[in-house]
Amino acid sequence: MSENHESLSLLEKIAKLEERAKVIGQQVNRVAQDESTLQQCADRMSLLVCDDDTLFEQFQLNMAAFKRFDPNIFEFFETYQPSRYIVDIHEGFPNIIDLETRQYIYKYPAYLMASTQVASYQQAPQSASAMFDSNEQNEPGFIHSDSLTKILKLLADRMEKNDGATRRLSKFVNSTMIFGVGNGYHIELLCAQHNIKNLYIFEPELDLFYASLFIANWHQILSKVEQLDLNIHISLGDTEDTFFQNVLKRSDIYGRYDMAKMFGFIHYHTEKINGLVKVFKARFRETIQGWGFFDDAVMSNSHMLTSMKQGVPILKKKALLSNPLADCPVFIVGNGPSLDQLVDFIKENQEKAIVISCGSALGALYQYGITPDIHCEQERTSPIAEQLEYYCPQETLDELILWGPSTLHPDVYAKFPVKLMAPKGSEPSEPLLMESSLAHLFEIHNYINPTVANTATSIAVALGFNDIYLLGVDLAHKKGGVHHSAKSMYYSEEGEDLSLYDSNDVLENELEGNFGGIFHTDSFFGGSKRVLEWLIGNNTELSFKNLSDGALIKGAQPLRVEVAEIKTDIIEEKRKQLKTLVTDSTYLDDGSYYQELAGELDTQGYEEFCLLLIKAIDELDDSFEGCLKLLKQHFMLLIDEELCNREIFYYLLKGSVLHMQAMLIRLLYEAVEEADAIEDFKQALAHYREFLAKTIIYYKENALKPHYYETNWFAPLTKK
């Protein structure tokens, strides 16, 4: 059969379907039905694959491409046998049939449905957009906040001018997620008409991706990816439990800032795809959390070094330790609402266990007449030292041992006679320690944040404790319920909420309760829960029990207080043994190690690297593509081990650079007109450049100085 005859036959079949196509209505927008439009569509997609031989040819081409591009996909599908969904030629067009329901995936010719779906999407693309909170007051005086707030103002102004209008999908797209592969025509179309820098493709059903290997032009898609140096991540068979974490890992490689503007294309709705989309929506905010920022990073070094100078010892790695109290129960006490129901249990077993208060839980325990053995803090800002004064008298603090991360403010450590600090991961202090002469003594703690409960649990595990109980570590609360212990600083003596904690966003996410039921949390405490689960998952030989009436923490055995029983003996000379454990498990500097580390801060090298970033800004090609390339260039400079030749520089700048890049990427796609977007970008870029220049001076002046500021946050407490 000739090609012309084949095309004519194709058009005749489309004409017969014209009446039936009206039923699609809202699902598929109309497309022009003239011969030239349909032929252009067919030519663009190489769609005339209507016999078994052509399908098999396509499969061979695609498999050859994957063999070179992604051998794992090639090897998996080389001998794959589908079980539910298979390719079938239906009415002359390739389709996919569900063997269980005997229904075709596509009610009409798949390429027509794909082309209309893509055309509709291009006119009004759906996306997820991230936004940071503006900090105009900026009590701490962070230069990061000053610069970011100016950029956020530009973005807010643009959004107001838009008045809800959106731009057609740009030729150059930073990041797109496609949910559902099917025949794959929509992927072909999007990749042919747009340069998508970071493309994420998700298909939970392996059969459906296998079917696309016979139909879609994967070899052309992959060829363009290689030629234009684009990124493509094909996630197959992912579940709701693994999906989002894989996205985060991949975005770290591509540049996490790009997640701040993520275009999303849902090809079809299935239970599994809807589940992935639900997870993405619920956890999207996590894509821009936990980055830190420049001023915070400078504190990481200055606080650790100052604490060392003031006699705070550093926790050694677990392999070097011996803990005679390892089998004693450890109570990690958080300040969640359920603490109030666990107080009697703590009192009854206090002499048999090691009690650790987490942050504001110390104040609640003090009100209940309980003095813990160990206190734990996590935040690095100076007001934490003042906050301790609202928990309990100094005489009580004098009885406690303090655990904290290396970033904790030195003034907090100064309030406790016995203390230790654990090296915190993903901080400038990490390479400072781990590239030093004594690196063999230490290990980095990567599960030590975001909450104090994470810090306490991480250090307890590092010290070799085997039997850990979580009490009041709720990390969520019931709808309409209180958010902390009634005896904590967050409530007055009359039970009035003092508005020290903003619970407005807590209803964002629903979680399964430790003892059943539905609980609500925000992304911060949801993140704390996941970090605890990772820590527990990496230490399955230990015992974790959760008595809290809050979020279910996987790996920790739910244990109701009514049936909980501590069968160990009273710990003799507990305080003395714990003090000895701190001494034996830590390194106390005599001043020489401080001098070594302080000499490695390299302010001159930092200045040279910042000037390299500024030079790239000054050489901007102010086209739309040029703006995208600058952001990528800065990201690549940060991870280039030769140009950014000190890891400490990477950690100093990473957080703030990501924050500003994220809002710059948003500005590029926010304006309805591309020219306006470029102008917005250039204005914001000036603030970013100014920030980089300021950091050079700030780092020289503050690399060894602890950070201080005053806050009015405590004002409600003075009225209690």
- Span of 163-172, 490-499, 654-663 with lowest mean pLDDT: 490-499
Query: Pairing mode, if any, of strands 93-98 and 103-104?
Result: antiparallel
So what's the pLDDT on residue 488?
52
Cα torsion for 18, 22, 26, 28, to the nearest 10°?
A: -10
Residue 29 pLDDT: 46
Tell whether the model's pLDDT for residue 619 goes beyond 50.
yes
Per-residue confidence at 710, pLDDT binned at 50, 70, 90?
confident
Tell me 497's DSSP state: B
Alpha-carbon span 187 to 200, nearest angstrom: 11
What is the C-alpha to C-alpha distance for residues 466 and 659, in angstroms, rounded to an integer?
Answer: 39
Lookup: tokens for 210: 């296998």
DSSP assignment of 636-684: HHHH-TTTS--HHHHHHHHHHHHHHHHHHHHHHHHSSSHHHHHHHHHHH
Mind listing the pLDDT tens digit for each residue in 241-278? 899 999 999 999 999 999 999 999 999 999 999 999 99
Residue 494 has pLDDT above 80, yes or no: no
Task: Identify the pLDDT of residue 668.
Answer: 97
Is 70 exceeded by the pLDDT of residue 31?
no
What mean pLDDT is reported for the chain? Answer: 90
Q: Measure the CA–CA gap between 596 and 166, rounded to whole angstroms.
A: 55
- Residue-wise pLDDT for 336-347, tens only, equals 999 999 999 999
Q: Nearest CA to 361 among 374, 349, 345?
A: 374
Rg, Å, the chain Cα set: 29
Cβ–Cβ < 8 Å for 270, 96: no
Query: What is the tens place of the pLDDT at every residue in 116-171?
Result: 999 999 999 999 999 999 989 999 999 999 999 999 999 999 999 998 898 999 99
Percentage of residues in the chain having pLDDT higher than 70: 88
**Beta bridge partner(s), residue 330:** 354, 468
**Using CA of residue 625, residue 606, residue 692, residue 254, what is the dihedral sign?**
positive
pTM above 0.95, yes or no: no
Q: What is the pLDDT of residue 22?
A: 45
Q: Is the pLDDT of residue 43 over 80?
A: no
For residue 49, pLDDT over 60 is answered with no
Buried (b) or exposed (e) across 462-471, using 16+ Cβ within 10 A?
bbbbbbbbbb
Pairwise pLDDT comparison (720 vs 396), residue with the higher score: 396
What are the tens digits of pLDDT across the range 394-403? Answer: 999 999 999 9
**Token pair for 310:** 């003031």
Domain limits of the chain? 312-588
The model's pLDDT over 64-104, given as tens digits with 9 standing for 90+, comes to 999 999 999 999 999 999 999 999 998 889 999 999 999 99
Assign 222 a pLDDT band (cuts: 50, 70, 90). Answer: very high
Question: Residue 565 pLDDT more than 70?
Answer: yes
Mean pLDDT across 196-216: 97
Distance CA 418, CA 397 (A): 10
DSSP E strands in 484-593: the ranges are 509-512, 518-521, 543-546, 557-558, 586-587
Residue 504 confidence class, pLDDT cut points 50, 70, 90 = low
Which of 470, 478, 477, 471 has the alpha carbon at shortest distance from 555? 470
Q: Distance of CA 298 to CAs 76, 314, 427, 429, 645, Å?
A: 47, 19, 9, 9, 18
pLDDT at 478: 84
Q: What is the mean pLDDT of residues 675-694?
A: 98
How far, in Å, CA of 304 to CA of 430, rounded?
A: 10
Mean pLDDT across the stretch 482-503?
Answer: 54
* pLDDT score for 26: 44
Residue 509 binned pLDDT confidence (cut-offs 50, 70, 90): confident
pLDDT-based confidence at 502, cuts 50/70/90? low
Q: What is the pLDDT of residue 23?
A: 41
Q: Residues for the chain: how many in total?
A: 720
* H helix and E strand count, the chain: 26, 20
pLDDT of residue 13: 44
pLDDT computed for residue 477 by the predictor: 87
Confidence category of residue 472, pLDDT binned at 50, 70, 90:
very high
What residues are paired with 199 via a beta bridge?
Answer: 176, 232
* Per-residue pLDDT, 304: 98
Digit-coded pLDDT (tens) for 409-468: 999 999 999 999 999 999 999 999 999 999 999 999 999 999 999 999 999 999 999 999
